Amino acid sequence: MRGKVVFIGAGPGDPELLTIKAFRVIEDADVIIYAGSLVNPEVLGYAKSDALVYNSAEMNLDEILDVMEKSVQEEKLVARVHTGDPAIYGAIGEQMQCLREKNIPYEVIPGVSSLFATAAALESELTLPEVSQTVIITRPSGRTPKPDREAIYRLAEHQATMCIFLGVHMIGKVVTELLTFYDPDTPVAVVQKASWDDEKVVRGTLDNIAGKVAEAGIKKTAIIVVGDVLGTSRVTPSKLYDSHFSHEYRKGNGEQDD
């Protein structure tokens, strides 16, 4: 494992949601570069005492890459620790591109996304039969632009379950775009710091969620979930466990063998 960079998804916050594979890398790493603005510092408690630790919130891309390159040249193991799963708004694409250009070896270890910690906090399944079988993961346009075809008001036309990152600080604008197609009484939930000890959950509808979020003082580190899956009181059973449904592992009751 020495002489390489390992990108790690450190999970949504609870250090016990770190994967075993990620834990082992952090435990063995000579150098750790972690997203200090988001990653729970308790994760660093697994590092060895002589590991060099850098907070990437205080660094630019060139500085991060410089530490990676020099450390790998010295045959050190570098753990690049991101929050949640690095594949979603993790900004690892640019880092991997630069490492490839420099022929620096790396690998990626997935993590538990804050999206799924949010669903767990809400005790909700995001894909209920006959309600929604599609999950849209997006963010509003801000300092990081996005294609107009991916604007929230365009995605809202599907009326699927929508999970919106990085938008709670502009929830009024988000709600306005969602109302283009969703009904005002569509259920919405906002979860701040899912899985952390100070996790906060706010529920409402598109008609009132902005006021409730303002009242709760939530301005960042939260996910907005919108869709009828949050308001379904009785779930239609899936075919998977239907006693009359046959599949390759089980024959349904009352069905004859061919």
- How much is the average pLDDT of 47-71? 96
- Kindly tell me the burial class for residue 225, based on how many C-beta atoms sit within 10 Å of its own C-beta (0-12, 13-18, 19 or more): buried
Task: Give the pLDDT score at 243.
Answer: 61
Question: Which of 35-39, 42-46, 159-163, 253-257 has the least mean pLDDT?
Answer: 253-257
Question: Which of 34-43, 136-145, 220-229 has the least mean pLDDT?
Answer: 136-145
Task: Give the pLDDT score at 94.
Answer: 96
**CATH tag, 115-230:** 3.30.950.10
| Nearest C-alpha neighbor of 5 from the set 57, 56, 50 | 56
What are 93-152's pLDDT values in tens digits?
999 999 999 999 999 999 999 999 999 999 999 999 999 999 999 999 877 778 889 999
| Nearest C-alpha neighbor of 206 from the set 222, 225, 221, 219 | 225
- How much is the average pLDDT of 201-224? 97
Between 142 and 224, residue with greater pLDDT: 224
Task: Give the pLDDT score at 190.
Answer: 98
What is the residue-averaged pLDDT of the chain? 92
Residue 236 has pLDDT above 80, yes or no: no
% of the chain residues with pLDDT over 70: 91
Task: Give the pLDDT score at 258.
Answer: 47
Contacts with 112 (C-beta within 8 Å, 6 or more apart), sequence order: 9, 11, 12, 17, 19, 84, 85
Q: Where are the alpha helices (DSSP H) in the chain?
A: 20-28, 61-73, 93-101, 114-121, 152-155, 171-178, 209-216
**Under CATH, to which class is 4-112 assigned?**
alpha beta
Token output for 133: 């079988």
Task: Give the pLDDT score at 146.
Answer: 84
Residue 253 has pLDDT above 90, yes or no: no
Kindly list the domain boundaries of the chain, sorted by start residue. Answer: 4-112, 115-230
Q: What is the DSSP string of 133-190?
A: --EEEE---SSS---GGG-HHHHGGG--EEEE-S-GGGHHHHHHHHTTTS-TT-EEEE
Backbone torsions φ then ψ of 205, nearest 5 degrees: -125, 170
Task: Give the pLDDT score at 147.
Answer: 86
Question: Which of 161-165, 187-191, 233-237, 238-242 has the least mean pLDDT?
Answer: 238-242
What are 152-211's pLDDT values in tens digits?
999 999 999 999 999 999 999 999 999 999 999 999 999 999 999 999 999 999 999 999
Task: Give the pLDDT score at 228.
Answer: 96
Between 126 and 247, residue with greater pLDDT: 126
